[in-house]
Structure 1
């Protein structure tokens, strides 16, 4: 009897068990990207996070924090608005949660004018739903490399490449016209107080197998590359290299100056051309009169 009653109880309870199972399986989770979100300094970035299954979070307390901050709150959203008294001053006026996105269960944080100091791990917390998740922000800074020319003590041509304002620390390399790496000298790296890096390197041109030389600066963490190519004339030697390089530029400047001077002179000549005043046509006597002939001066009846 007891076994049969237990079996009957289980049979009658099975429908309710199956009805309750989906509610346990549908526990709300906060999903953020596993891979770091990358941004350049000065740009705007969105740290994406989404509730799953999707549900409105507009009435929830949404907190964004970053370990190591004091105050620790990057954004504190409560009762439908930002609580500025709890926000870290370094993020004041630069962060935003979209009210429209909150209705759709998106609790993504927008950070405007990203700084190098913004790099790090961020946590999104919804205490009422007992869920939280983290996302990593990687910040980078880049600039274009500049190549200058000089001569060493032996009279050989030397190219100096330099770039400033990089983050994280980049790698600098020299390449020939076919993309083959070239040995560099005097590699130097300097970190500024603001955390940005400056790098420089020199290349001595000893063999003229190539007439183009590329300085490439790259940073794999932020997947950024910048490069500048310098061209040396084929007949350029260590003695006349500066002449070969600067002569075309000087000639170009001379041509431009000549064009400007010619244009100015032409404009001045046109501006100083003879003009006849329209009022002169109303007063013919204002023109120079020719002397009367003698026959005209002794005409009868003329006083």
Structure 2
């Protein structure tokens, strides 16, 4: 009787082990990766989520992460408890890892560190032993690009300080800020609207963003009625969580107004205008003086002539 019980227990155990093996080979668990494209900024670390569902241990499986567009295409290969670094594409050296302690739970997610622009693409996770495969799409956020050339403006003009994201990305949900070299806030945009509470008084009512183009990555600033004091270096920046990308734009302001007159010469011109009456008076005074002098000279000449005529008679 005892032998029969032991026999039945052994048979049950064998059946159980067989069913587990069949389940593993047939791939009764599905490999599920993120169906939503992941977006990160350059320099970020990112996790490409992928796991077996329902949970099935991947500890003894060969786990392959690859990019079909690369040669060699392997990003990370894990087999027999170790990382096969010799198969890895050199671009990813020292930047990839699996969560080895979670492999028994079916977690085969890949961690990619210090993301670069060239990391953007489609990543494929494969488990050959259970014939499972799935993909994750990764996009990498762009940089803020200002202007290498200074922007020239004239007093009284409206001017655009160019700045954009490259590659173009939607910034409507991000925080955008323009500041001067000394940190004064020129324009601030957050929570999908302009924030004028902390704007410097010098720029109030004179700045705006192109809201209808922000989804294309355009964060250029329009500054109206430019003054000489607006000249200087401006910083445009975009903030996402704790990361901030920025670049600079230089503004030069000429002192020639729209009528072609030098702003600095207006005071001189005004001063010159005020001296015209004085000049006229001076000239009139000189002319009057000349006339008086001529009349006095003629008078003296007549007096001298009369004296000469009277003198002989006076002597008699």
TM-score with structure 1 setting the length: 0.50
Q: Which has the higher contact order (CA 8 A, sep 6+)?
A: 2
Structure number, greater radius of gyration: 2
Structure (1 or 2) with the greater helix fraction: 2
